[in-house]
A and B are shown apart, each in its own frame.
Chain A
Amino acid sequence: MTRYAGRGFAAINYPIGMNLGGDPAQALVHSTPDGKFMVTLSAIDLGQGMKSVTRQIAAEALGVPMEDVYVDTADSDTGPHDMGSFASRGTHRVGNAVIRASSEARAQMMEAAAEELEVNATDLDTDGQGNIHVKGAPQRKITVAETAIAAQFKQGRTLSGRGIFLIEPSGVDPDTGEMSPVTTYAHAALIVDLTVDDETGEVTVDKINSAYEVGRALNPKLVEQQLIGGAWMGVSHALYETTEPYYPDRAHGPEDFNTYLMPGPGEIVPHDIAVLERPAADAPYGGKGPGEMCANPVLPAVANAVYNAVGVRVDKLPITPEKILRGLQAQGGAKPGPRRPGTQ
């Protein structure tokens, strides 16, 4: 048996938000009597961090510390309408709605503070630490808590906001395909190093180097979670996963995790990531959802690396040992491609 090393490359972009628009999201923000803020949504947190990222967005837009904000989702009796968490729309759509709701609440908060400080609201700013002060005179200040108490018990004013974000639905021209699919795109490029065993057909992914452009990393650790976990899923899709291993035949479909294969903790691929941030004009603080696109470049990069290693093009996913062995057999053994620059 011989193990052949291969290196493969792929680059992609990814549309952020529901294709063709028409998918509104709403948010409500209100203050508690002592100046903390509740964000009420119908967005779904399925692990991507919806509750956490909208909390940070609301805190930033309100100008208060993150600890003073809590996100409540999703109860249809209290949360306003949202289409859901799919199509990389959560951060983009809901985040924008949260900014708008928070901006409205902030405007009321500044107005209430202005009344207490006897200045114009436009002369005030927040310090992000729970205080509202006169611009250029930080000693003339009032806390957000005092402001909320005054608004509630003295001024008879709510510190609350409504937000909606909607991209107008686009049609599709049936003859040309002209359309406005989305307004924002994320990007990625990725290099996979792997080895192929020409006796067993097994592929071992040794290393991933990647660059992901995400607009802005609203929370760098949440972005890191998505990119690492997403690349893992990309490797899994490339090499293992299918419910129909002999598609279009329906036979041999797995019904459990013993036969539906995925890489385990013993097959963690070292992955060095660079995050690029080119803010998108209409995205919340420029941030593009990284959760979906992160898996996509891995699949073709693995296929290209397998070809580079042994000269077998597996054009049907997943790239199973059986397919590689059949390819090797058909071409009379491994035919390694050119050594790519930087291959170890």
Chain B
Amino acid sequence: MPKKPMSFTLNDAETGVFVEEGQNLLEALRRGAGDLSPKFGCGQGTCGACTVLIDGAPHLSCLTLAEAAASRRVETTGGLAAGPELHPLQTAFMEGFAAQCGFCTGGMLMVAKALLAENPRPTREEVIEAISGNLCRCTGYGPIVDAILTAAARMQGRAA
């Protein structure tokens, strides 16, 4: 099958991949760019494990055509840390035991990052709303909501 070159920014680095017609962004990121942090959970847009940010907004990469990301800014969990420094969301998830199997964690972190960029002081209800498209089968969600609120407070220099 013929493949077309496509370039985009992946976690602040210029990246190029070859994509087939109809290929989704999830496959292009995983097999093409070798970024394995977005996960395949359903391929139906219902679980959120494949969530990435395109120009800062969360997208389900399993339902996004790869070509739609051409020349745009794509962020994944693999690029969340600034070098060796973990993002406050990451440390909050670690300290709050907000992951068990970890398969949904990347998607949760991506929607949380987008939320906090837009709304640095979210209420609990706003956090719940933001992650409501992301499924977790292990934690019962409570620790995830708490961790996002903790991170938000720390990023604002507030006590959680």
Which one, B10-18, B24-32, B134-142, is touching chain A? B134-142
B144, A265: Cβ atoms under 8 Å?
Answer: yes
Interface string of A206-249 (1 = CB under 8 A from B): 00000000000000011011001101110000000000000000
A257 lies within 8 A of B46 (CB): yes
- Interface centre among A222, A229, A231, by most chain B C-beta atoms within 10 angstroms, is A229
89-117 of chain A: CB within 8 A of chain B: none
B135/A257 in contact, CB under 8 A: yes
Report the Cα distance A262→B42, complex, angstroms.
15
Count class of interface residues, chain A: 20 to 34
Residues of B near A225 (CB, < 8 A) are: 97, 100, 138-139, 143
- Are B140 and A229 neighbours in the complex by a CB distance under 8 Å? yes
**Among A45-53, A127-135, A168-176, the stretch in contact with B:** A45-53
The A265-287 residues at the B interface (CB cut-off 8 A) are 265-266, 268
Considering only residues 29-80 of chain A, those with a C-beta below 8 Å from chain B are 46-49
**Could you tell me the distance in whole angstroms from the C-beta of B135 to the nearest C-beta in chain A?**
6
CB pair B140 A232 closer than 8 Å: yes
Is B102 interfacial (CB-CB < 8 Å)?
Answer: yes
Residue of A nearest to B96 (CB): A221
A118 in the interface, Cβ–Cβ < 8 Å?
no
Q: Is B132 an interface residue (CB 8 A)?
A: yes
Question: How many Å lie between the Cα of A256 and that of B142 in the bound state?
Answer: 23
Counting residue pairs across A and B whose Cβ atoms lie within 8 Å, the total is 61
**A342 contacts chain B at the CB level, 8 A cutoff:** no
- State whether B138 touches A256 (Cβ < 8 A): no
* Contact among A221, A257, A268 with B140 in the assembled complex (CB-CB below 8 Å): A268
Contact partners of B102 in chain A: CB under 8 A: 47
- Which single residue of chain B is at the shortest CB-CB distance from A224? B97
B133 nearest CB across to chain A (Å):
9
Chain B residues lying within 8 Å of A224, measured Cβ to Cβ, are 97
Min distance, Cβ B126 to any Cβ of chain A, angstroms: 11
**A267 to B, closest residue via Cβ:** B141
The docked-state distance in angstroms from the alpha carbon of A232 to that of B100 is 14
Contact A264 B132 (CB under 8 A): yes
A228 contacts which of B103, B132, B142 (Cβ < 8 Å)?
B142
Q: Are A49 and B135 CB-contacts (below 8 A) given A256-B42, A257-B47?
A: no
Q: A258: CB under 8 A from chain B?
A: yes
Q: What is the bound-complex CA distance between A183 and B7, given in angstroms?
A: 60
Contacts of A265 in B (CB 8 A): 127-128, 131-132, 141, 144-145
Asked whether, in the complex, the Cβ of A47 is within 8 Å of the Cβ of B145, the reply is: no
Q: B82 at the A/B interface (Cβ < 8 Å)?
A: no
Compute how far the CA of A264 lies from the CA of B128 in the bound complex, rounded to whole angstroms.
9
| A255 vs B55: C-alpha distance when bound (angstroms) | 32
Closest to B46 in A: A257
B100 touches A229 (CB 8 A): yes
CB distance from A48 to the nearest CB of B (A): 7
Which of A221, A262, A268 has most chain B Cβ within 10 Å? A268
7 closest residue pairs by CB, A with B: A47-B101, A232-B140, A47-B100, A257-B46, A265-B141, A265-B128, A229-B140
Can you give 18 contacting A-B residue pairs, CB < 8 Å? A221-B97, A222-B97, A224-B97, A225-B100, A225-B139, A228-B143, A229-B138, A229-B139, A232-B140, A232-B141, A256-B44, A257-B135, A258-B44, A265-B132, A265-B145, A266-B128, A266-B132, A268-B142
